[in-house]
């Protein structure tokens, strides 16, 4: 017990949570469900990446689907044409998307607000056209197929052979946890604080000595590389990449997830990715309807709940706290009253 107390209940809770998450594949036998869960994990990576930019730094991009695509295509090309394994394509993709992210950020972030949105939209579209038309390298509309799974991993007790969906789950979960830890470390540092300051008031931030442009570009670069990593995982998980996955719709989907979950919140990112992935899987038969509903959702969320689901939760939490406080105050008064009554009877 002493050990547990030392560890702290918070950490204990986390440990139990992670163990419970690891048990999921044992309970789910339907491979389709496993596929959806894995997809959710990949989306969580994307949303965490975009949220760093949108939620924590206040810079909106609707071109991050392109970074996802670049990561996926790099994994596809390097693994099918050069025979590199997943453990090599991953760092290559992260590095490449970081470099491209830096360049796009360096150019785009000279623009503000809606102009930045337009620039990232243009970038996303251009990259999509490259995927579609550079047939020699990207395979054109057909894309690239037969991307190998990651090499078999042996942990003594069990082996991940990557022959079924459930095998990918621990690997993806690992990367999601790593991404969450990195995100947490980043935002709880001088760098992370300077990003939130920029989001809240650029002029005031700059007057406090924060190099606004440089900070934004660095965050854009990090954000892009999250998406690159997600792309690599996606390519090795689905084994096929084709242009239509990484079009404008993908960028909007990621942004919607950020908005729905709640900007600037890790739990929000997880919630947003989970809900919308399940939702869009449910609406598989009608993809056009999906975009219509996404658009409507964004408008409604922006109008009534600009802080997303996490915003609603914190609103009600505060309300409950306030009520509890009121009750406590009233309760205190009541005991005093009782005493008075008692005195009266004596």
Partner 1 sequence: MNKKNLTDTAILTVAGLSKSFGGVKAVNDLSFSVKKNHIHAIIGPNGAGKSTLFNLITGIIPPDEGEVRFFTTDITSLRSDQIAKHGVSRTFQNIRLFPDMTVFETVLIGTYLLTGAKLAPALLRTKAFRENERVAKQRVEEILKFVGLWDVRDEYAAQLSYGNQRRVEIARALATQPQLLLLDEPTAGMNPKETKELMDLFTAVNNEGITILIIAHDMNLVNTLSDHITVINFGEKLVEGTADVIQKHPAVIEAYMGKVKVDA
Residues in contact with partner 1 by CB under 8 A are 182, 185-186, 189-194, 196-197, 200-201, 203-212, 215, 218
Cβ proximity to partner 1, 160 vs 301, nearer residue: 301
User: Residue 125: which H helix or E strand, with range?
Assistant: helix 113-133
CA–CA distance, 59 with 116 (Å, rounded to integer): 8
Instruction: Return the beta strands (E) in 77-179 as ranges.
Output: 153-154, 159-160
Residues 100 and 67: beta-carbon distance below 8 Å: yes
Tokens matching residue 51: 């949220």
CA–CA distance, 246 with 25 (Å, rounded to integer): 28
CA–CA distance, 278 with 280 (Å, rounded to integer): 6
Residues 268 and 309: beta-carbon distance below 8 Å: yes
User: Residue 310: which H helix or E strand, with range?
Assistant: helix 308-345
Which residues are within 8 A (CB) of 274 and not within 5 positions of it... i.e. 6 or more apart? 40, 44
Tokens matching residue 181: 């830890």
């Amino acid at each position: 017990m002493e050990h547990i107390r030392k560890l702290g209940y918070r950490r204990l809770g986390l440990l139990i949570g992670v163990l419970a998450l690891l048990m999921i594949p044992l309970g789910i036998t339907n491979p389709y469900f496993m596929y959806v869960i894995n997809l959710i994990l990949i989306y969580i990576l994307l949303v965490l990446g975009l949220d760093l930019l949108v939620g924590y730094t206040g810079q909106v991009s609707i071109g991050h689907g392109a970074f996802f695509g670049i990561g996926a295509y790099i994994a596809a090309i390097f693994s099918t044409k050069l025979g590199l394994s997943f453990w090599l394509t991953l760092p290559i993709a992260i590095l490449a998307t970081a470099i491209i992210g830096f360049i796009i950020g360096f150019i785009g972030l000279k623009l503000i607000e809606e102009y930045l949105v337009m620039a990232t939209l243009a970038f996303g579209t251009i990259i999509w056209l490259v995927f579609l038309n550079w047939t020699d390298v990207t395979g054109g509309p057909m894309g690239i197929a037969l991307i190998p799974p990651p090499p078999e991993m042996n942990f003594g007790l069990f082996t991940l052979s990557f022959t079924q969906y459930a095998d990918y789950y621990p690997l993806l979960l690992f990367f999601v946890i790593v991404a969450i830890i990195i995100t947490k470390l980043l935002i709880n540092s001088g760098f992370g604080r300077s990003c939130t300051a920029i989001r809240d008031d650029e002029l005031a931030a700059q007057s406090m000595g924060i190099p606004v442009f440089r900070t934004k570009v660095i965050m854009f670069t990090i954000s892009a590389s999250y998406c690159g990593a997600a792309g690599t995982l996606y390519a090795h998980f689905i084994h096929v990449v084709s242009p239509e996955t990484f079009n404008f719709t993908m960028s909007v989907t990621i942004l919607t997830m950020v908005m729905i979950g709640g900007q600037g919140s890790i739990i929000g990112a997880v919630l947003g990715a989970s809900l919308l992935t399940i939702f869009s899987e449910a609406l598989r038969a009608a993809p056009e309807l999906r975009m219509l509903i996404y658009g409507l959702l964004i408008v409604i969320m922006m109008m009534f709940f600009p802080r997303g689901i996490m915003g609603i939760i914190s609103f009600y939490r505060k309300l409950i706290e306030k009520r509890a406080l009121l009750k406590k105050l009233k309760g205190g008064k009541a005991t005093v009253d009782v005493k008075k009554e008692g005195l009266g009877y004596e």
